[in-house]
Structure 1
Amino acid sequence: MDINKNVESPFELKISFNKLLQHYEELAENTDAHSAVRAKHVLKIANTFPELKDGFSDATILKQREKEISEILQDSFSPILTKNEIKTATIPFHNLIFNASERFKDIIKTAGKDFELEIKNMPKDDTYIVACAIILDFYYGYNLNFKRPFYYEIPDANGITRYYKILYNADFTEIKPKKNTPKITQKDYDELLDNFENIALWKEKFPPNSYTFKGFIISNIFDVTDDQSISNVKSSLIADDKRKDVNFMGGFQEIFRSLFGINDIKVGFSLYNKEDGVFQRVYGAGLKSYLLGKYEKEKCTDALCKWSYNRLLNENKYFSVSDVDKMLVKSKGGAPHIKSLHEQGIKSAVFAPIANDDGLMGILEIVSNEPQTLNSINANKLVDVMPYIVTAVERSKNDEANLIEAIIQKECTSIHPSVHWRFASEARDFIKAELKGEQATFKKIAFENIYPLYGQIDIKGSSNARNEATKEDLTLQLKAVKSIFLKASKIETLPIYEQYIYQINDYLKELNNDFKVDSERQISDFFNQEIDSVLTHLFSIDALKEQIDSYFNSIDDKVKAFYNHRKDYDDSIALINKEMASLLDKKQEEAQAMYPHYFERFKTDGVEHNMYIGESITKEKNFNPIYLYNLRLWQLQVMCELENAYYQMQSSLPITLNVASMILVFNQPLSISFRMDEKQFDVDGTYNARYEIVKKRVDKAYIKGTTERITQKGKISIVYSHKQDENEYLRYIKFLQSKNYLDTDVEIVELEDLQAVTGLKAIRVSVLYHKNEEDKSFYTYGDLMKTIKA
């Protein structure tokens, strides 16, 4: 079998011992009699079998001359060191090994009959180019630093992956060009330097089989599992978004198994929350905490005994538990971390503090299901990897802090793109002042002479709806408990059962007749503080087990109570808010395309939004009132679409709720500024504050002389105070009536006076609803004027 077959390479490979034999020719003339005798013996073998010197490509000769090759290589493969050294004789880019130390043979044998030896970090696509680089170095003398470490990954008897670094000795090789092989010039070399990945160019300069490689290579192999494991830990921790990768934790545990040389190892983490004095889980795919066990978080003093608490939190030193079961007996169950490990079936463990100069950040937990597998001796292996874990956790905490700030900014204190330029400008000035050593202050962010727009789609009667849902849940739970006590009183005649039944009846009466603000809390306390413990006791009675089990299965894990009707209510509110906010955000993109302006929205029992438009916000001096009119018309259209979107989704909601929409018109420009303490924009000045007062109270206002609220389901209420506002919006309404957005039942009403605010009026008009959601055209103020003129 030709070793060059099915291999594309610039080399024609020939196994030869010529260069090694040249050394023996020199030794044969040596004055040292022993060396000379040994050299002559080797040369006699070579002379008897000239192919060993001349070279051969037929792999079958290796088998035929196995004994002779072994004798020639005996000095290179010392019999005395054969069980210690990991060494092979081979040729480049082949897994063909024709001589090996006993230790190497044992390693391969232990790996199993299905194991295939392969250099892991040698890309197959690069082997041709690497061979060309060898020619440039060995034959042409160009000093190319192309060498890189190569490794084998070989499993041991326990299935643990061990890493072996390969160092090549190429002293016994010869590289020569064949006849008519193109010579490499300086120009060729310069071109190749910038084209490592251009395989076609390399094949042009170094055609396949154009050079003869004659000789062999000795591979000196070293077990570098510890070093590679540490490197792998570092590489794993550097990777971004590692916690999201479902394969991350499995790979990370494999690294620690290699480091410790133990297959039965699992890795966990606990984060230390200094502010709350608790350990908490690290959230991510496959991440666990063996210290916390079944808990999401736990006080440090409850999770550790005094000694281990002091060891980890104060001394920042690791400790091991070599035999959990023995320690459980020794501590008499008084050590919480030992108890937690025992409950999880863990038999030995190491807890290592992840700490920097500022103190503890978390705990690295390494555990095993076998006793004494982990102990204070092999725990020292963590010394070399902990700096990387500390660095990774520091980076993770910083990333998390930045992410938290980003989420808070996005969800709570968003700096809208329309005003971001002002914040960025002030931030640059702040940094500049700090770098100059000056007193850095973040100047006030304010925008003057801008027009406000406000709107809301509010869920009507949300408080009553929640109260009804609460009453229904509490009633169901009280009746379920009452049923259990009625049955229990027939089994055991105890007065306490009668007392509980009386108390339950009293609560049921209160729910029906006089539901107060604190009724829910009182009844919840009754369940949690009295009933639960009694039911746990009654569970020992066989006749009650099924009923009590059914009761506890009906308890929601989060609210610790019956949560059916309230869940329907909460889910309905969440779905409405999500749908309304999503649609409003999508429609906002259209509005921003008309003219940039500030926009913010809030989710409450419904969705409300603020908009501010004006030249000071956009920075460009091109503001015209037509952009304000466009935005007002857009807002009215969108409110109609939000109403339609709600009524189209209403049938899919867990409970039926109604919504009412309102727009507040404020005709005068005002000023707003960003309040650093509240992280939000607010109006400036006493007069402008009137706008905020109206905004907060107007949806609860009554029509003058009635007890009817201004907002009403199925209608949009437009609140204003000036006649010109009325005329403007009546035109919008008439236009949208022609586009089948609004009905013809327009009414104008006066509002009862609010605190410090008088003279408010409102236009109310019904929304026209559509059975199907269709993309509607957006109508501009220009379209309105064309319609009026027509």
Structure 2
Amino acid sequence: MDINDNIESPLNVKISFNKLLKQYETLALSTDPFLASKANGVLDVAKQYPELRDGFSRVSSIKEREKEIAFILQDTFSPLLTHNEIKTASAPFNDVIFNASERFKNIIKTAGDGFQLQMKNMPHDDIYVGACTIILGFCHGFNINFKRPFYYEIPDVNGIMRYYKILYNADFCEITPGENAPKITQADYDELLDNFDNIALWKEKFPPNSYTFKGFVISNIFDVTDDQSISNIKSSLISKDKRKQNSFVEGFQDIFSSLFGIKDLKVGFSIYNKEEDVFERIYGSGMHSYLLGKKTTKQCTNALCKWSYDKLLKEYKHFSVSDVDKMFELSQGKAPHIASLHEQGVKSAIFAPIANDKGLMGIIEIVSTKKQVLNSVNANKLEDVLPYIVSAAERNIEEEANLIEAIIQKECTSIHPSVHWRFVKEAKNFIKSEMLGEQAAFKKIAFENIYPLYGQIDIKGSSEARNEATKQDLALQLSAAKTIFEYAVKIEPLPIYDQFIFQIDEFLLALNVHFQVDSEQQISTFFKNDIDSALKHLYVIDELKPHLDLYFETLDDKLGMLYNHRKQYDNTVTLINKDMASLLDKKQKDAQRMYPHYFERFKTDGVEHNMYIGESITKEDSFNPIYLYNLRLWQLQVMCEMENDFYQKQHKFPVALDVASMVLVFSQPLTISFRMDEKQFDVDGTYNARYEIVKKRVDKAFIKGTSERVTQKGKISIVYSQKQDELEYLRYIKFLQAKHYVDTDEEIVELEDLQSVTGLKAIRVSILYHRSEKDKAFYTYNDLMKEIKA
């Protein structure tokens, strides 16, 4: 077997000691008789075996000349240092080692039978290019700095990974070009400098086996486990989102195991919450805290004894517990951190503060199931890595603060994606101004010449429905209290009970005759100030206790009032809003794909939505009125679908309510700007404000000459003021009639004048419904109600 087999390289490698022997030839001429004698002895051996100078590549030759090679290399591999130095002699970029120090042999032996020595961080193509760069320097005078640190990873007797750095000595190498080696010019060199990853080009300039290598390399190897462990810790801490990965904690523990030389070592963390003086668990895959155990938070004073509390939180110094069981006995289990470690089977531990000049940020906990392996001596190894852990903690705290702020922005004051680009642009300008030392100001964000669309699906008669629910709750509570006082006056005839009965009757009469806005407040105050204390007093009467218990059990804990019908109403409104908003949001994703536009919605007694579309929002020269017309038609379709969805689910709601839909058409483009104080967009200018006035009042408008509201259950109302709008929407209605979204009973009505707004009209048309998603029949609202009740 040849050492060049299965290795693609521009070098045809021959192991040779020619350059080394030439140095011995010089030493043989020395005036020092000892040096000359030793050199002649080496040369005499070499003369007997010419292949040692000429070179050989067969692996069997290495075995055959093992003793001679060892003798020739005796000066470079001193027997006196063989158990201390980690050293090998080998072919370059090759795992064939023909001489090694005893310490290296022991390291490989300890690694186990199945271990294969392999250089880390050296991809196959990089080896080829590395050999080419050596040729450029040796043969062509082009020196390229391709030096990189190379490592071996070798497990020790305990299975802990140790890291060894390799430094090459190439003093005894000779490289000569072969007959097929292309000539390398300055132009070739320039081209290669810009094409490191183009392996085909390197092979073109340096074909495989086109150069002959004669000699050997000496590898001086150093144990850099501590340095590499620290580097690995830095890399792990720098990597983003690592703590979400399952492998992070295991990898981190392996790194600390290498640093401390302890196989079963585990690492835990606790966050310090200064505001509440508590330790908190870090959330992440596999994250654990040995201070907290199974708890998610713990008061610092309950997690540590006074001495350890002062050490970590006041002095910012680490401490160790070398024998947990012994300390548990000495403290009689009263030291909280010792008790926690003992309960989790920990035998030795180190606690170290993660702190900066602003104070404590957290605790790193290093533990082992073996006693005394962690102690006050090796605890000092943490001093080398704590600065990086502190930096990572500072960065994580900042990132978490930014994440919290981002979530708040998203969930509470979200910026719609369609306009987000403009906020990013202004934020960059703001940062740029600050960096240049200028007066930074966040400029006004406005979008001009955009078209508005507004729609709402309102719960019909919501005020009346809530008033009715309120009346029922109040009447039931008043009647229940009256019954108790009627019992009480028979047992304990006090005039005050008659007074309460009289007042209750007055309130009941008022509820039935003329319920007013402040009636609920008046009755609530009556119960709070007068009735509640009186009823609690009646607990002294044993016969009344069952009635009183039943009464108080029916009251809401927070309100202290009967909250039954009102709760059903409120729950119904919440469910209606949630379902309609969810459907609208889902449909909006399709609309955005058609053409980007601004969208926002609000939950009130129903769901309202605003949309704005135009060139200035999209930032692209692509807007065409066709996209506006498309969005208007899409809006009508979706509102019909939302009504259908509502009535298909109406039977599931606690209270049977109806809804009414309306669309407001505004043909003139307007300007909207972001109000920083209100964190929302609003229209700009006096003329544009007319749109907002109409939007807020039109759903309450009456049809001219009648007392009928423009919005009506079972119909969609399209409010407009321009003739071209009327013609446009009649075309949409005709299309929707063909698609069975709406009926054929469209009508045009005039509206009563609103404040500062005249000339409004509305197209009203009945929506067609399905009883369920699978039902293919079409129903008007009245037909649907008959079907449902049938």
Which TM bucket (shorter chain)? 0.7 to 0.9
Q: Are the equivalent residues in 2 in contact too, given 1:591–1:634 (CA < 8 A)?
A: no
In structure 2, the partner of 1:663 is 662
C-alpha offsets along residues 626-672 of structure 1, whole Å, 9 cap, x if unaligned? 87665443322222234456778999x99999884633527597875
| Counterpart residue number, 1:46 | 46
The secondary structure found in structure 2 opposite 1:25 is helix
Contact conserved, 1:451 with 1:666, CA < 8 A, in 2? no
Distance 2:36 2:546 in 1: 108
Which digits, 9 at most, give the CA deviation of each residue in 1:494-544, with x for residues without a partner? xxxxxxxx9999777766x66676479999xxxxxxxxxxxxxxxxxxxxx
CA distance 1:253–1:453, shift in 2 (3 Å): same
Q: Residues 754 and 249 of structure 1: is their aligned pair in 2 closer, same or farther, counting only changes over 3 Å?
A: farther
The question of 1:587 aligning with 2:586 is answered: no
Q: How does 1:187-336 map to 2 (within 5 A)?
A: 187-275=187-275, 277-336=277-336
What is the CA–CA distance in structure 1 between the aligned matches of 2:549 and 2:748, rounded to whole Å? 47
Are 2:580 and 2:642, in contact at CA under 8 Å, matched by a contact in 1?
Answer: no
Q: State the Cα distance separating 1:180 from its structure 2 match.
A: 5.4
| Contact 2:555–2:561 (8 Å) recurs in 1 | no
Does 2:412 match 1:412?
yes
Gaps of 5+ in 1: 468-501, 524-565, 775-790
In structure 2, give the amino acid aligned to 1:582: K
Summarize the Cα distance change of 1:348–1:752 in structure 2 as closer, same or farther, 3 Å threshold.
farther
Summarize the alignment of residues 682-693 of structure 1 with structure 2, pairs less than 5 Å apart: 682=682
The residue number in structure 2 matching 1:162 is 162
8 Å Cα contact 1:577-1:605 kept in structure 2: no
Shift, 1:762, TM fit: 9.5
Q: Distance in 1 between matches of 2:54 and 2:397?
A: 65
Deviation of the 1:147 alpha carbon: 1.6
How far is the alpha carbon of 1:141 from its aligned partner?
A: 2.9
Q: Secondary structure at the match of 2:454?
A: strand
What CA distance in whole angstroms lies between the structure 1 residues aligned with 2:748 and 2:587?
Answer: 29
- Structure 1 vs Structure 2: percent identity of aligned residues? 65
The code of the aligned residue for 2:587 comes to L
Q: Distance in 2 between matches of 1:221 and 1:568?
A: 76
Corresponding residue number in structure 2 for 1:765: 766
Q: Report the more deviating stretch, 215-224 or 421-430.
A: 421-430
> How far is the alpha carbon of 1:264 from its aligned partner?
1.1
How far does residue 219 in structure 1 lie from its aligned partner after superposition?
A: 1.0
Say if 1:506 and 1:696 are closer, same or farther in 2 by CA, change over 3 A: farther
AA of the residue aligned to 1:186 = Q
Correspondence list, 1:635-650, <5 A = 635-643=635-643
Identify which range, 85-94 or 429-438, moves more after superposition: 429-438
Larger Rg: 2
Q: Is the 8 A contact 1:322 1:349 kept in 2?
A: yes
Paired amino acid for 1:396: N
Conserved 8 A contact 2:55-2:214:
yes
Work out the CA distance in 1 between the residues paired with 2:35 and 2:738. 112
* Equivalent residue number for residue 740 of structure 2: 740
SS of the residue aligned with 2:153?
A: strand
In structure 2, what is the Cα distance between the partners aligned to 1:688 and 1:278? 54
TM-aligned CA distance change 1:604 to 1:180, over 3 Å: same
Indicate the SS of the match to 2:159: coil
Change beyond 3 A, Cα 1:265–1:738? same
Aligned residue in 1 for 2:378:
378
Deviations along 1:181-201, one digit per CA (max 9) or x if unpaired, are 444333333333233333333
* Distance across 1 between alignment mates of 2:620 and 2:64: 88
Q: For the structure 1 residues 72 and 298, does the alpha-carbon distance in structure 2 shift closer, same or farther, using more than 3 Å as the test? A: same
Alpha-carbon distance between aligned partners in 2 of 1:451 and 1:74, rounded to the nearest angstrom: 90
Compute the displacement of 1:216 (Å).
Answer: 1.6
Taking the aligned partners of 2:678 and 2:317, their CA distance within structure 1 comes to 42
Q: Secondary structure at the match of 2:442?
A: coil
Shift in CA distance, 626/11, structure 1 to aligned 2, threshold 3 Å: closer
Contact 2:640 2:767 in 1 (8 A): no
Aligned to 1:473: none
Task: From the superposition, tell whether residues 376 and 639 of structure 1 become closer, same or farther in structure 2 (CA, over 3 Å).
Answer: farther
Q: TM-score, normalised by structure 2?
A: 0.73
> How many residue pairs end up in the alignment?
690
CA distance in 2, matches of 1:700, 1:300: 60
Q: Match for 1:768: what amino acid? A: Y
Contact 2:599 2:610 in 1 (8 A): yes
Q: From the superposition, tell whether residues 717 and 18 of structure 1 become closer, same or farther in structure 2 (CA, over 3 Å).
A: same
Structure 1 position 382, deviation (Å): 1.9
Report the counterpart of residue 599 of structure 1 in structure 2: 599
Whether the 8 Å CA contact 2:662–2:711 is kept in 1: the answer is: no
Distance 1:397 1:143 in 2: 46
- Bigger drift between 428-437 and 724-733 goes to 724-733
CA contact (8 A) 2:14 2:56 kept: yes
Alignment match, 1:107: 107
Deviation at 1:118, TM superposition (A): 0.6
Report the RMSD for the aligned CA atoms in angstroms.
Answer: 4.9
Match of 1:136 in 2: 136
Distance change in 2, residues 1:157/1:604 (3 Å): farther
Q: Report the Cα distance in structure 2 between the residues aligned to 1:372 and 1:568, rounded to whole angstroms.
A: 65
Q: Please give the alpha-carbon distance, in whole angstroms, between the structure 2 residues aligned to 1:206 and 1:111.
A: 37
Q: Distance in 1 between matches of 2:269 and 2:314?
A: 19
Cα deviation code 1:87-122 (max 9, x no counterpart):
111111221112111111111111000000011122
Cα distance per residue 1:434-468 (max 9 Å; x no partner) = 4554543334445688765433557999999xx9x
Amino acid at match of 2:662: I
Q: Which moved more, 1:399-408 or 1:603-612?
A: 603-612
Contact 1:110 1:157 in 2 (8 A): yes
Name the SS of the counterpart of 1:88 in structure 2: strand
* Structure 2 Cα separation of the partners of residues 663 and 94 of structure 1: 80
Matched residue, 2:525: none
Cα separation, partners in 2 of 1:429 and 1:253, compared to 1, 3 Å: closer
Shift in CA distance, 106/433, structure 1 to aligned 2, threshold 3 Å: closer
In the TM superposition, 1:517-528 aligns within 5 A as 518=559
Kept in 2, the 8 Å contact 1:324–1:347? The answer is yes
SS state at 2:440 partner? coil
In structure 2, the partner of 1:369 is 369
Tell me, in whole angstroms, the C-alpha distance in 2 between the residues paired with 1:770 and 1:269: 57
TM-score between both structures, scaled by the size of structure 1: 0.73
After superposing the two structures, state which structure 1 stretch, 375-384 or 85-94, moved more. Answer: 375-384
The residue type paired with residue 286 of structure 1 is G
Q: Aligned runs of 1:333-372 on 2, under 5 Å?
A: 333-372=333-372
